[in-house]
A and B are shown apart, each in its own frame.
Chain A
Amino acid sequence: MKILVAVKRVVDANIKVRVLSDETGIDMNDTKMALNPFCEIAVEEAIRLKESGSASEVIVVSIGPEKSQEQLRTALALGADRAILLQTDQVIEPLSVAKLLAKLVQEEQPELVILGKQSIDSDNNQTAQMLAALTGRPQGTFISQLSVDNSAIHITREVDNGLQKLSLQLPAVVSVDLRLNEPRFASLPSIMKAKRKPIDRRSAESFGIDLSPRIKHLKITTPAERKSGQLVASVAELVGKLKLEAEVI
């Protein structure tokens, strides 16, 4: 089984971003970038499927600026076999990402495509579902368990009121949630080895898909800050304030 994993370069999860004072965007100057945490989980799952003999090849793909190579190298160091970079300096919306990925699915014919459930920058949570629709494949979103059984996969999804189990015929598209696995750290030898693995670089524009944004960003603003509160000295004081001052209990 061939697996395609889509990975995105995003601002590191530990950084609290700042909005530019002219409200045109986020301050990206010297901002630490990383592999989207959900994509890391997606890569880890693909590698585990390869290690267990269920998968034969793991291909990672990223759509973004040239520097997305760094995240592809990370994925290669974790154990992916080869990488594809669809290079573009435009902001690519989920629908266009899904269309580009659908083209790659056509070319590569992976039985399983694994994505993150959400990009932690744009917080969209859309691409996997869109790709599944465009390729006519079944979808398994927000999964916390996956097992392969011949021509099907069995998945557990994290849903608002608990867990749901589905069975999907392959080929399928899944998006991973936090508790699917705990990604490994790349070892030094594997980081060295990853430098020799191939990255196939192509222009995202070369696919003949209209990638221009359809959602116009009028402005990006900072949400209202909360007023700083007070420390209380005891539980009794806390209960008193909640009753008499805040009047919430």
Chain B
Amino acid sequence: MRPLVIAEHQQQTLDAATLSTVTAAQQIGGKVDLLICGENISSVVDQAAKIEGIYQLLVADHVCYKDQLAENTSKLLLTLSENYTHIFAAATTQGKNLLPRLAALLDVPQLSEIIQIIDANTFVRPIYAGNALATVQLEEATILATVRSTAFDAVPFCDDQAVIVYLDDVHENDLSRFIAEDLSQSDRPELGAARIVVSGGRGMGSGDNFSLLNNVADKLGAAVGASRAAVDAGFAANDMQVGQTGKIVAPELYIAVGISGAIQHLAGMKDSKVIVAINQDADAPIFQVADYGLVSDLFESLPQLEQLL
């Protein structure tokens, strides 16, 4: 077995999702390589070289990879793929943008969001918003999969140093061009990796009212999430959406406030260890998955909660 993991990073640091993806790749067995693409990424490379159990660190440092355009990175991967039995990426927007494009170039199928590895050819993945689990098997020259990071622990770092191999292939294209990005700035922990997540729904009533939630989150050192309805209504940013088509979270503690508990929302948080629901409607379906339910008006209970923490 010879798995390759495609790393993700924010220029300076590796993303936590990559560390979980490496763990998944190590479960396949054999020597695991890690590919890092980008421009001016030496600090990420230094960090990644110390991931435990990485055999080779492939580094493609060139302006053509700066914006992580799938058109370019898929071509780079095409040149590498014959060396590998498996190519894994995190099931993030970046991984989901890239891996299917590579799969089609290689003429192989791709698995999305695997949550369990049974053997090198057999995997489990959720379908129908997590209401069913499919055990799937495939025989391909290279098996491509995106990995749901909440299902695998992060790989630790160590003192050894992986072998670094610099790639100088340049793959540019003149069909797609990066224009700008508008990144969310927050001092809070990242949603996907936070130990505690506090999420608000339509019941929050307005974006300003999210400050009630933020105050509680600050006391707990928690990340803040939202339902689709809250995002659609403009109460919260798109990258805060938890659910089937947003982010998947599985923290130690998930507090859902003013969220009814639609199938699509549950899909994103029902693997949390402890779930708390605060909702004024005792019949809200969220109470069916909550370990602790509080039937109350959030405008009364959130300030109280902030005070008692």
Which residues on A are within 8 Å of B, measured CB to CB?
Answer: 11, 13-14, 16-17, 19, 26, 38, 93-95, 98, 117-118, 120-134, 137-142, 144, 154, 157-169, 172, 177-179, 214-223, 226-232, 234-236, 238-239, 241-242, 246, 248-249
Contact = CB atoms under 8 A, between A and B. Distances in A.
A164 B128 contact: no
23 contacts: A17-B131, A94-B109, A98-B104, A123-B113, A133-B100, A133-B105, A134-B104, A140-B176, A141-B93, A161-B183, A165-B182, A167-B179, A178-B228, A179-B238, A215-B138, A217-B135, A221-B133, A223-B132, A227-B291, A239-B309, A241-B292, A242-B253, A249-B309
Interface of B: 10, 69-71, 74, 92-94, 96-105, 107-113, 122, 126-138, 140, 173-184, 192, 196, 220, 228, 231-232, 237-239, 244-245, 247, 252-253, 263-264, 270, 273-276, 287-296, 301, 304-305, 308-309
B247 A215 contact: no
B169 to A, nearest CB: 18
A230 B292 contact: yes
A238 B276 contact: yes
The 4 closest A-B pairs by CB, nearest first: A129-B100, A133-B104, A130-B104, A138-B176
B292 A238 contact: yes
Majority DSSP secondary structure for residues of A touching B: mixed
B109 A214 contact: yes
Contacts, number: 250
Contact of B232 (A121, A137, A162, A178): A178
A38 B96 CA distance: 16
Nearest to A227: B291
Contact of A216 (B128, B137, B276, B288): B137
A178 B174 CA distance: 28
B258 to A, nearest CB: 15
A27 B76 CA distance: 43
A229 B99 CA distance: 39
B238 A163 contact: yes
Contacts of A232: 292-294
A229 B71 contact: no
Contact of B263 (A16, A154, A157, A165): A16
Nearest to B107: A95
A231 B276 CA distance: 10
Contacts of A236: 304, 308
A238 B294 contact: yes
A164 B293 CA distance: 38
B109 A93 contact: yes
